[in-house]
C-alpha cells in the first residue's frame, strides 16, 4: 500500500460557505431569533421536503433549520440555563460596532459573555450568546487581526491582508491562484464586512 502525502493533492474546488444546518426544537422560535436578533430573512426552501424546517439567508450565507422537538431541553423549567462558553462550537459574525451589539442584546434581555483577544497590541472584542436551542453565536470585530497564512500552508494563493482593506489592483495577479480563488477571497472579504446592526 502506497501512502501519499496530503500536500500532493489539490484542494477541493470550493467557492464559499453556502449554509449551516441546525436542528431546532421549534422552527417558529428559531426563525424569530435569526430574523429579529441576527437580521436573517426567510427564503423559499424546496417544497419536496417532507419535514418541518425553514431556510434563512443574509450576509452571504444561509441557515437551514430542521425541526426536531425531541432535542435535549437545556433551558427547561427548574434547570440552570446552559453556560455560555466561548470555547464551545460556535458560529461567528463580523460586525461594525460591538458596543451597539451589547446594548441591543441587553435591551432584548439576552444573556451574553464578552471576551477580548489581544495580538501584537491589537484588541478584538467578542460577544457570545445562545440561540433558542443552545447553539453558540459570536459577534466580533475580528477584522482588526490580519489573515496571515502559515508558512507552507495550502492557502498560499492569497496574500496576507487585513480584512476590511480593499484588494489592490492586481495584488493577487502575481500569485498562483486561479480566477475562482480570487473571487472566493474577494467574496469572503466583502461578506465579512457586511454584518452590521
- Residues annotated as catalytic are 138
* Whole-Å CA distances, 9 to 83, 122, 156, 177, 178: 41, 36, 14, 15, 16
SS3 label, residue 186: helix
Say how far apart CA 32 and CA 148 lie, in whole Å.
Answer: 37
* Whole-Å CA distances, 90 to 7, 23, 48: 29, 14, 30
State the cell numbers at 39.
437580521
SS3 label, residue 185: helix
Q: Measured at the alpha carbon of residue 125, what is the angle toward residues 31 and 63, in degrees to the nearest 5? A: 20
CB-based contacts of 150, cutoff 8 Å, min separation 6: none
DSSP structural state of residue 100:
H
Amino acid at each position: 500500500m502506497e501512502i501519499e502525502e496530503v500536500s500532493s493533492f489539490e484542494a477541493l474546488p470550493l467557492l464559499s460557505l453556502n449554509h449551516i444546518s441546525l436542528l431546532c426544537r421549534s422552527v417558529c422560535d428559531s426563525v424569530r431569533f435569526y430574523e429579529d436578533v441576527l437580521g436573517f430573512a426567510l427564503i423559499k426552501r424546496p417544497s419536496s421536503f417532507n419535514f418541518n424546517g425553514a431556510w434563512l439567508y443574509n450576509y452571504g450565507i444561509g441557515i437551514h433549520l430542521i425541526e426536531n422537538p425531541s432535542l435535549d431541553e437545556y433551558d427547561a423549567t427548574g434547570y440552570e440555563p446552559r453556560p455560555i462558553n466561548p470555547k464551545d462550537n460556535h458560529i461567528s459574525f463580523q460586525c461594525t460596532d460591538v458596543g451597539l451589539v451589547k446594548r441591543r442584546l441587553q435591551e432584548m434581555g439576552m444573556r451574553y459573555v464578552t471576551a477580548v483577544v489581544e495580538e501584537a497590541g491589537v484588541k478584538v472584542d467578542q460577544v457570545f450568546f445562545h440561540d433558542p436551542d443552545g447553539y453558540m453565536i459570536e459577534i466580533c470585530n475580528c477584522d482588526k487581526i490580519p489573515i496571515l497564512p502559515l508558512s507552507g500552508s495550502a492557502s498560499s494563493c492569497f496574500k496576507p491582508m487585513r480584512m476590511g482593506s480593499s484588494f489592490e489592483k492586481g495584488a493577487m495577479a502575481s500569485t498562483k491562484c486561479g480566477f475562482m480563488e480570487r473571487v472566493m477571497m474577494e467574496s469572503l472579504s466583502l461578506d465579512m464586512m457586511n454584518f452590521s446592526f
